[in-house]
Structure 1
Amino acid sequence: MILRRVARPLLATIFVTGGINALRQAEGHAKAAEPFLNTTLDKFGDVIPEQVPRDPVTLVRIDAAVKIGAGLAFAAGKAPRLAAGLLLGSLVPTTLATHSFWTIKDPGERQQQQIQFFKNASLAGGLLLAVSDTHGKPSAAWRARNAAKDVGRSAERLTRRGQKRANKLAKRAQKKLPS
């Protein structure tokens, strides 16, 4: 319990501060993300609903709001699995947009972006653990399977009881019939 109370805010800090920074410098972040966004929209633009904004500055602001909101919720332990999932969903495109080291020719810059890429991959690993953390309670899937087994057992008991009752009634009916 204490571990989660310490670990969550530590993990959330990078997202909250990054989100605040992105809001303050949305145009600069949008400029950095624009090549990735253009490539993505060229490939998947027909699949993405029309309601999704295509303006890079708007997308950066939405991403920043998700990072701040989900980061604060995660740090506070409010819906932590959902918050971690939102942060993970925000982290992946951000990482691909801003740390695509494989496209960089300069060895020094390439190495810096590679470090940032793998740092974000490590954060993603931590978020995956948080998404799957059930606080020591059984997962929803386990509870559903267990409930299904309980329903099956109850149905079997009811069937056996019904068969016994039917047999008793049949015996009584046999006794009352004239021979």
Structure 2
Amino acid sequence: MILRRVARPLLATIFVTGGINALRQAEGHAKAAEPFLNSAFDKVGDKVPEQVPRDPVTLVRIDAAVKIGAGLAFAAGKAPRLAAGLLLGSLVPTTLAAHSFWTIKDPQEKQKQQIQFFKNASVAGGLLLAVSDTHGKPSAAWRAKHAAKDVTRDVSNAAGKLSRKGQKRANKLAKRAQKALPN
């Protein structure tokens, strides 16, 4: 559909350009994200595996790579639902780290960050739609539910046929047995 071919690249643009910018200025982005990351690791650090890097610069670079890779895949229509999910997963912590307007005292800066926060919330809404977009085809959940109903029906029919055959066989044996018995 033409709408998807136009909408996906438009939605992906902010992620690809943002990812490139984050790679070019990883240290600056890491410095901005560090308070959020420290707070997050303080709260859930014991539940995060040791293999997960805690260095802000490394995390910014990983996030940038996800944004670029998933953004390009989404724009090209390659695994668009997965790509949209990855972009959404990248957008949430980025938004919380960069646009936490509720912590800002200066009214002008607070308003700027609030606008950016709600812009990102709007983009998240678009990504949620993209995650659920099945191109008009039934979703995996719908197909699984109906496949289960089909299997249940088929098993029930097969069981009914078997029991009818079994009943016919039993009736034949009963008639033979009656004929064999003396009157």
TM-score, reference length from structure 1:
0.99
User: In the aligned structure 2, how far is the partner of 1:17 from the partner of 1:143?
Assistant: 37
Identity value in percent: 79
Shift of 1:44: 0.6
- 2:59 aligned partner: 59
| Matches for 1:10-89 after TM superposition, within 5 Å | 10-89=10-89
TM-superposition CA deviations, 1:48-80 (whole Å, max 9, x none): 100000000000000000000000000000000
- Give unmatched runs, 5+ long, in structure 1: none
- 2:92 aligned partner: 92
Matched AA of 2:123: L
- 1:111 aligned partner: 111
What count of residue pairs does the alignment treat as equivalent?
179
User: In the aligned structure 1, how far is the partner of 2:156 from the partner of 2:39?
Assistant: 58
| Matches for 1:139-150 after TM superposition, within 5 Å | 139-150=139-150
> Greater CA radius of gyration, 1 or 2?
2
User: In the aligned structure 2, how far is the partner of 1:10 from the partner of 1:57?
Assistant: 28
Q: Give the match's secondary structure for 1:88.
A: helix
Shift of 1:115: 0.2
User: In the aligned structure 1, how far is the partner of 2:160 from the partner of 2:43?
Assistant: 60
User: In the aligned structure 1, how far is the partner of 2:21 from the partner of 2:149?
Assistant: 51
TM-align CA RMSD: 0.5
Shift of 1:3: 0.1
- Give unmatched runs, 5+ long, in structure 2: none
Q: Which runs of 4+ in 1 moved over 2 A?
A: none
